[in-house]
Structure 1
């Protein structure tokens, strides 16, 4: 059995002297003589060689018939096959030999050729080791992703119903005329924070859905009135804190129809308006503008708040990232902006941000226009 510290060279030849002649010249390898093709098939499976010399004058089954079978074995993927002879080299090349050499070559030159092939084999094994390590890491990562997905899905579904129930109860209490005004204000804050918690949970679930390709858009043609309606709904989703800011909305009067999912767009706008609110003080200004462009509808959400540090902008749309400088103490997962980016890109649009510290931020995204071959659009035109 060859040493684990040495590379292995098989000399497949009828004459044992050929292996004996080569062995002293290969100090860093164990040379093993193999007498025939049948033995090679058996021994190569048990002890895969790094290099195998196949002499073409081998009696019995020709090596050109055996080599294709050997090359199909996974454990021999790194083996280098050297055909040695004066005849039949063309057949060996066609059978998959890595190199050819005459059997009249001096032993020293033959040894040099074998050393080159041993170096290739070492390189292959090194690369294969790296690939295997990366595959193990990938398998571990995929397992962790599956566990994370299952956990997020379970948590969100388990949380949504009780959170919605709490919000409903708070609405009932808030409308009760027996509740004092000071307590009513506290209930309003509790209701807003509960709604924020619900948004966090839903954003986490939807980000995972989009990443897994499981969210399917329900596109509609969106004209000016629908944009205005979606923005109004998004304002309501943000909560009562928006009352403390100056909010203005401007939608171009004759927009070319965009192709978008109104419910997803509502969520995107609610996240962006909520983000603007977090970064502005009471009395600050938040604006939403919708404009036509030749190839898309451009939507802009702008605020005059604290702005975003330049170092934070590159990772702003990544999950679990948010600006380090905020005017509020509320915990945020960063899933809101991650959802916005994924949702807009799922529509075929783009999203970006411009900001200067102390001078507010402007988030802009695009939505593709409806195409002439869109069924709803074609029906509308007719």
Structure 2
């Protein structure tokens, strides 16, 4: 239920307030008989409208009183009306919102007051909405800080033990005394552990890029370095690629590409991992790079099940994955989100083309020259 609007009538004659009480029955109309009473009353209540008559008894100039009142933050929504036939100039200079003659009819005064009451209420509601939005923003920022701290703690606390588990699994897998069946299980365990490491690191890096903390360390990359980066990314993905036919088609020469080699390696690793998840044993994955003008056009294509058209628009968003998959592994979609943010951080672009049942092609282009920004990527220990 809305509170009654408060109107203070600051006048020598209390009858001026009484006449308004009958005309404005939905308002709380109060009379104050001098400037000192006006100062006291406005400390107790924040009125919606104050009518200041020029005949109000005061020990100081009414203009100074009004100036002092308008400077108080709790009265920022109050509307001030100067009433009289003379002496209105100082009140106008002090910031009165309206001027009216003290001979104005009650009907005309009532109409003007209702307009000012509406403005005062609208101003209060607007301030309350802004305050509510600010509280929500503060809560969201707090939750974001807590989430970032948790993600950071999660990655850094899990990265070393996960890496240790991977190393131990590799040692046990090399033991010649274990059976082939056990060796296959160990290989699967190592792949899943590797996948867990990628998930956690991608999650941290996506958060960092979104926060604008990207720090690229560009180097000049030529064809031999590009081939080495692709080979390193191939190793990052793991032994699962051994069950797929990987075709690498890279040019013998390319103009100097200015890019962060570690981040480019991560982009390729994530796209290769994504292709691996969407192809069956014996499937074909093709990695290609072709200079096109001032850009290097890179492609990672698979001949898997393809991506439904309705999934394409949001494919590069975190926690968005295609609903049509050949694997049962949980995925956050952070890998593709990382690729998009990292490619765009280089000044490039990334997109996908796919027909259901005919595989998918992920394209990304990198300019031969780029500007760098600051960021701090998590180290991926393998």
Normalising by structure 1, report the TM-score.
0.88
Aligned: 1:47 with 2:64:
no
Q: Distance in 2 between matches of 1:220 and 1:90?
A: 72
Distance 1:154 1:371, change over 3 A: closer
Q: 8 Å contact 1:302–1:360 — kept in the other structure?
A: yes
Partner of 1:376: none
Unaligned runs of 5+ in 2: 373-382
Deviations 1:268-315 (A, max 9, x none): 211111111111112222222223334433322222211112222222
Quote the offset at 1:43 in angstroms: 2.3
Aligned: 1:178 with 2:177:
yes
Q: 8 Å contact 2:287–2:301 — kept in the other structure?
A: yes
Instruction: Please report the RMSD computed on the Cα atoms of aligned residues, expressed in angstroms.
Output: 2.5
Partner of 1:331: 330
Q: 8 Å contact 2:214–2:345 — kept in the other structure?
A: no
Q: 8 Å contact 1:56–1:62 — kept in the other structure?
A: no
Partner of 1:260: 259
Query: What SS does structure 2 have at the residue aligned with 1:198?
Result: helix
Q: Distance in 2 between matches of 1:205 and 1:160?
A: 11
Distance 1:114 1:199, change over 3 A: same
Partner of 2:117: 118
Q: Which moved more, 1:311-320 or 1:86-95?
A: 86-95
- Of the two structures, which has the highest relative contact order with CA contacts closer than 8 Å and spacing of 6 or more? 2
Q: Give runs of aligned pairs for residues 235-274 of structure 1, distance below 5 A.
A: 235-274=234-273
Q: Distance in 2 between matches of 1:37 and 1:52?
A: 12
Q: 8 Å contact 1:13–1:55 — kept in the other structure?
A: yes
Partner of 2:198: 199
Q: Which moved more, 1:309-318 or 1:106-115?
A: 309-318
Q: 8 Å contact 1:52–1:79 — kept in the other structure?
A: yes
Q: Distance in 1 between matches of 2:232 and 2:250?
A: 15
Partner of 2:305: 306
Q: 8 Å contact 2:245–2:283 — kept in the other structure?
A: yes
Quote the offset at 1:115 in angstroms: 0.2
Q: Give runs of aligned pairs for residues 24-35 of structure 1, distance below 5 A.
A: 24-35=22-33
Query: What SS does structure 2 have at the residue aligned with 1:218?
Result: coil
Q: 8 Å contact 1:259–1:369 — kept in the other structure?
A: yes
Distance 1:262 1:69, change over 3 A: farther
Quote the offset at 1:57 in angstroms: 4.7
Distance 1:344 1:44, change over 3 A: farther
Q: Give runs of aligned pairs for residues 16-27 of structure 1, distance below 5 A.
A: 16-27=14-25
Q: Which moved more, 1:199-208 or 1:59-68?
A: 59-68
Deviations 1:83-132 (A, max 9, x none): 33344555544433333333332121011000011112222233333333
Deviations 1:177-213 (A, max 9, x none): 3333332222222111110011011111112222223
Distance 1:39 1:229, change over 3 A: farther
Distance 1:113 1:336, change over 3 A: same
Partner of 2:356: 357
Unaligned runs of 5+ in 1: 374-382
Partner of 2:69: 70
Distance 1:139 1:292, change over 3 A: same
Deviations 1:17-62 (A, max 9, x none): 3222222111211111233444333322320011122334544333
Normalising by structure 2, report the TM-score.
0.88
Q: Distance in 1 between matches of 2:88 and 2:368?
A: 65
